[in-house]
């Protein structure tokens, strides 16, 4: 008789544990509050417009701020990353990668930024030596 009660108790406990586990696998949206998160560097159109080929690292840092990611093994690349989440969902993601040669800005890679900034970043890809040879104000 005593074994029957113990077996019933074990079955009840296992059933209770299974029901608790199933309850956690709900398809109903979570009722927990999710905070809005902004992480990284905000890079604006005006900031990118200020970047010119041949700028030093300190000048780029002055314009854009300190990079979020600096590659330890290649110090010629800086990454500016920005993420914005609302209620747990990714709303906006931006990444701007700055490349240097001999401590001077050479080009920018633009990922998932608004198209107006993309156009500006493309114009910075020219060689700094060509920029120095170009007459002032000449866009040809």
- Taking the C-alpha atoms of residue 51 and residue 96, their distance in angstroms, rounded to an integer, is 12
The alpha-carbon radius of gyration of the chain (Å, integer) is 27
Per-residue pLDDT of the chain (140 residues; tens, 9 = 90+): 567 788 888 888 999 888 877 766 666 666 677 788 888 888 888 888 889 999 999 999 999 998 887 778 888 898 888 888 888 788 888 888 899 999 999 998 886 555 444 444 555 554 444 444 444 444 44
Is 37-133 CATH 3.30.1450? yes
For residue 56, what is the DSSP state? B
Reading the block at residue 50, the tokens are 């200020």
Cβ–Cβ < 8 Å for 80, 41 = yes
CA 61 and chain centroid, separation: 18
Q: What is the pTM for the complete model shown?
A: 0.56
């Amino acid at each position: 008789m005593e074994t029957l009660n113990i077996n019933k108790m074990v079955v009840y406990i296992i059933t209770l544990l299974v029901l608790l586990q199933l309850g956690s696998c709900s398809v109903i949206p979570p009722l927990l509050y999710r905070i809005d998160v902004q992480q990284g560097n905000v890079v604006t159109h005006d900031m990118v417009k200020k970047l010119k080929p041949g700028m030093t690292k300190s000048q780029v840092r002055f314009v854009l701020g300190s990079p979020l990611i600096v590659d330890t093994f290649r110090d010629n690349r800086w990454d500016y990353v920005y993420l914005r989440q609302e209620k747990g969902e990714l709303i906006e993601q931006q990444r701007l990668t700055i490349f240097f040669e001999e401590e001077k800005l050479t080009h920018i890679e633009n990922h998932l930024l608004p198209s107006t900034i993309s156009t500006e970043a493309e114009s910075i890809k020219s060689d700094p030596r060509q920029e120095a040879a170009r007459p002032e104000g000449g866009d040809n």
